[in-house]
Amino acid sequence: MTDLFDRASDVEQAFRDNALARQLDQVTEQPLTDKQGTRCCVECSEEIPLPRLAAVPRAVRCISCQAIKEAR
């Protein structure tokens, strides 16, 4: 029974560590802006569409690049 609780504790800690690492990545990433003040993706340098920025105001990647980052 103790092994089960130890395993659950390990899984929970790994989950928290992963969530914290993702949060810290978001905090340190700065958005790119062009000369007109348009926010651009930090990966591909394409303009981030306004609907994406409306949904995720702190977005630093376009939807495609964010999907690739999350898949890693």
What's the count of helices (H) and strands (E) in the chain, helices before strands?
A: 3, 2
Range 27-33, long-range pairs (CB < 8 A, 24+ positions): 29/60, 30/60, 31/58, 31/59, 31/60, 32/60
Q: What is the mean pLDDT of residues 51-67?
A: 93
Quote the pTM value.
0.60
Residues 15-47 have pLDDT tens digits of 898 888 877 766 567 888 888 989 999 999 999
